Amino acid sequence: MKKLGRGLGAILEDVEAGYLKSIPNKSIQEIDIKKIKSNPYQPRKQFDENSIQELAASIKKHGLMQPIIVVENNGEYILVAGERRLRAVESLKKDKIKAIVSDISLKELREYALIENIQREDLNPLEIAMSLKALIDEYGFTHEELAKNLGKSRAYISNMLRLLTLPEDVQNKLLENKITYGHAKVLIGLEKNKIDNVVEKIEKDNLSVRDTENLIKKYKKSKKDNEEISEDLLDVALKLKKMGFKIEIGKNFLKLKFKNETDLKKLKTLIDKLS
């Protein structure tokens, strides 16, 4: 069984709870902020500026209670965990920040960044979905393995991944919190033009998730249709989408839409390779 982030996970748990008993004192250092680089594998796309300023105010009054975690790389440091804390301290015009210098390898950075963020309750659902997909693509985890290692249900993993089958503009609305996860979940399986109509009404009339469900009943035979999209069909849809194809997915169908002749040629090439 593959293990996700074991070792660092224990450190993160201690740090986030404010307990540093298991961390050697010598590993906590004052690091020059200018030498710290953001983790290139950070899955979080949105940072609430108001919450960062609130955190900055707390740090100004009480000090930084939870060090960030970094890994050293050629005289500089790459951030592993604590980007909100780093941004808050930077906003206070500080030159240095308290940090735990970890001895993890650079190859482990992406996995750790994904795991650290998935475990956070304030991460946007779409960011979680992208993190889960990255773990599947790069480490070969199955839905079952992710569920066990993350302490989540298998249904949770599958439901999150299905968000990535939504049209890109709808994904952006979810990322920007213009619609909720509940809204997005009931949109899965609808055709694009119907999704656009429903989303327009959600924004215009401030529809609740229940209101949205009632609105789209005429577009679906039952809610169960949406819940029974198979894992195999979902995996195929996500792989095609990663290759650049525009797709729509439902319980018993997968629809490809071509933007131009290039997309058609790409599909023909793929089929030729398989045949």
- CATH code, 169: 1.10.10.2830
Positive or negative CA dihedral for 81, 84, 85, 90?
A: positive
In a domain, 46, yes or no: yes
| Domain stops at, among 90, 112, 134 | 112
In a domain, 117, yes or no: no
**What pLDDT score does 166 carry?**
92
What lies within 8 Å, CB to CB, of 119 at 6+ separation is 9, 12, 150
More confident residue, 56 or 116: 56
Weakest mean pLDDT among 32-36, 57-61, 228-232? 228-232
Looking at the structure, do residues 30 and 70 belong to the same domain, yes or no?
yes
In a domain, 267, yes or no: no
Domain that holds residue 62: 8-112
More confident residue, 267 or 88: 88
Specify whether the CB–CB gap between 250 and 224 falls below 8 A: no
| Domain stops at, among 62, 80, 112 | 112
Looking at the structure, do residues 150 and 242 belong to the same domain, yes or no?
yes
Looking at the structure, do residues 86 and 146 belong to the same domain, yes or no?
no
Tokens matching residue 110: 């992406």
Report which of 234, 191, 237, 251 is spatially closest to residue 216, judged by C-alpha positions.
191
In a domain, 138, yes or no: yes
Looking at the structure, do residues 89 and 132 belong to the same domain, yes or no?
no
Per-residue pLDDT reduced to its tens digit, 214-227 = 888 766 654 444 45
Looking at the structure, do residues 54 and 155 belong to the same domain, yes or no?
no
Domain count, the chain: 2
Looking at the structure, do residues 132 and 233 belong to the same domain, yes or no?
yes
Looking at the structure, do residues 242 and 137 belong to the same domain, yes or no?
yes
Specify whether the CB–CB gap between 33 and 99 falls below 8 A: no
Looking at the structure, do residues 131 and 213 belong to the same domain, yes or no?
yes
Per-residue pLDDT reduced to its tens digit, 23-55 = 444 468 888 988 988 776 665 666 778 888 888
Q: Is the pTM of this model over 0.75?
A: no
In a domain, 185, yes or no: yes
The average pLDDT across 118-138 equals 78
What CATH number does the domain containing 93 carry? 3.90.1530.10
Q: How confident is the model at residue 170 (pLDDT cuts 50, 70, 90)?
A: very high
Looking at the structure, do residues 246 and 154 belong to the same domain, yes or no?
yes
What lies within 8 Å, CB to CB, of 84 at 6+ separation is 47, 51, 52, 55
Weakest mean pLDDT among 90-99, 158-167, 222-231? 222-231
pLDDT above 60: residue 5: no
**What pLDDT score does 18 carry?**
38
**What pLDDT score does 182 carry?**
92
Q: What percent of the chain has pLDDT over 70?
A: 74
In a domain, 118, yes or no: no
Looking at the structure, do residues 128 and 13 belong to the same domain, yes or no?
no
In a domain, 209, yes or no: yes
In a domain, 163, yes or no: yes
The average pLDDT across 248-261 equals 73
76: β partners = 73
User: Highest mean pLDDT range out of 47-61, 108-122, 200-214?
Assistant: 200-214
Looking at the structure, do residues 129 and 154 belong to the same domain, yes or no?
yes
Q: In what order do the strands lie in the sheet with 36-37?
A: 28-32, 96-102, 68-73, 76-81, 36-37
Looking at the structure, do residues 241 and 147 belong to the same domain, yes or no?
yes
What lies within 8 Å, CB to CB, of 69 at 6+ separation is 8, 11, 12, 15, 79, 80, 81, 82, 99, 100, 102
